[in-house]
Every structure is written in C-alpha cells, then in structure tokens.
Amino acid sequence: MTVLLVVLGAAVGAPARYVVDKAVTARVAAGFPWGTLVVNLTGCLLLGLVSGATLPAGAVALLGTGFCGAYTTYSTFGYEAVSLAERARRRAALTYVLASVVGGVALAATGYALTS
Amino acid sequence: MSHVDDPDVGLVPEHGPVIAVIAAGGALGSLARLGVSTVLPHHGGFPLSTFVENVLGCFLLGALLVVLTELRRPHPLVRPFLGTGVLGGFTTFSTYAVDSVTRDSAGVAVLYVVLTLVLALAGSWAGVVTVRRIGGAR
C-alpha cells in the first residue's frame, strides 16, 4: 500500500515539477535556473509542513515521499550548478547553490515549525 | 494579443506525451528511491539512503545529459523520461532539507548538508567529465 501511494504521489509530483519549471522560466530572463529554484524551495516548505504535522502514514507516503520527493530534485540542481560554473558564471553558480541550500533548509524549518 | 509571456502556450497538446513520460519516469525513480531507503538504514542518525540517492543521481544525470546532448541525437522523449522523470524522481531536495532540520545533533545536520552538497556537485561534474572522456566529446 505504501509503495502504491509513493508511486501515485511521484507520478503527480514529477510532472508538476516540469509544469512549474516551464511556467517560471517563461516569465523570467534566461541564464539562471529560476524554475528549479522555485520548485525546490516550495517543495522544501511543503515537506516541512507535511513532516511537522501528525499525519497518517499513508498521507506521508503520498504527499511526502511520493509527491514532494519527486517534485523536488537534487540531480537537476547539481547539473545546473556545475553548468553555470563551467560557463565561467561562478558568481551565479554560488548564488544558486546558496539560495537553494540556505533557502531550502530555512523553508523546511519554517514549514516544520508551523505544523509541529 | 501576445502569447510571448504566456507559459501555458505550448503545454498542450504537444506537451501531453512529455508529461506522460515524466510521470512514468518519476514513478519509477521514486520506486528506486524507496528501494534504496529500505536497503540502507540510517547510521548514527545520518540519513545515508538520501545521501547515496542524491550523490548517485547527480553523477548519473551528468553522465546522461552528456550522452543525450553531446554524443547522441535521441528521441525527444528520452531526456524527459530518464532525466526529468527517473533521475528527478530518484533524487530529492525536499527530503535533504527536512532531514537536516530534524536531526537530533546539530553537528550531524551540518555534516549532512555540507557532505551531500560537496559530493553531489562533485558527482554531477564527474558524470559529465567521465562520459566526455569515454565518448570523446569535445
């Protein structure tokens, strides 16, 4: 049952990441990975909210492990950071990494504190 | 009326198959993530499974994207399926952030955040460089 809920959440979370990324990148100047940043930061806040609350195991599997797990991504984040650095855009790479990690942890803590 | 600023233009209908393969890939990637976290227990409060998934996923995406963008001309659905779907679903940023918040020890939390970041970025870079060397790209 847990497996099914995780798969179901992920089957929605991964395309949601694609749609949000496209919606964000269409609205901002190219050259900085705003799409992934918005996806990862909102996903951190959402998982913080889910993790702080006392939810049934099934809801955690669906929303947390499934949806938030697949909605957010480390692999695209890593690739984009390395790509920026590779194109000699070290400052943008550093900004991207710090905004993702510091912002992600801060939003996760905020979400967690709000519901726990 | 300008469509330039409307991000939804182009999402349908040609984005239908892309969204479908991302959903399927994301489901597969999450299954693999669930598998790794079942096999790898946490060591002394260190979230080992998420750490391994994120570092490995970064290496694999770096390698995959060099193959798909520099070495081969794949079917247009290959990258959304394997990259955005499978590896996007396999790795996770939200669990990384929340796991760092919920550690009992601040030392373990900092070690986890920094170690994942350094090795994941090194992994992305290593994936790119390794495949370029093997494939003779650039």
Is 70 exceeded by the pLDDT of residue B98? Answer: yes
Tell me how far CA of residue A101 lies from CA of A19, A81, B104, in angstroms: 22, 12, 19
Chain B residues with CB under 8 Å of A25 CB are: 7
d(CA B34, CA B20): 21
Is 60 exceeded by the pLDDT of residue B5? Answer: no
pLDDT above 70 covers a percentage of chain A that reads 100
Average pLDDT, chain A: 97
Three-state SS string over B82-120 comes to HHHHHHHHHCCCHHHHHHHHCCCCHHHHHHHHHHHHHHH
Binding-site positions of B for Na(+): 88, 91
pLDDT of residue B6: 46
Tokens coding A69 = 């797990």
pLDDT of residue B4: 42
The verdict on A9 touching B (C-beta cutoff 8 Å) is: yes
Task: Please tell me whether residue A29 adopts helix, strand or coil conformation.
Answer: coil
Binding-site positions of A for Na(+): 69, 72
pLDDT of residue B13: 58
Q: Please, which pLDDT band fits residue A1 given cuts at 50, 70 and 90?
A: confident
| pTM, rounded to two decimals | 0.92
Is 80 exceeded by the pLDDT of residue B85? Answer: yes
Mean pLDDT along residues B111-127: 98
CB neighbour class for B72 (10 Å; exposed up to 12, middle 13-18, buried from 19): exposed
Measured between CA atoms, how close is B82 to chain A, in angstroms?
12
Is 90 exceeded by the pLDDT of residue B57? Answer: yes
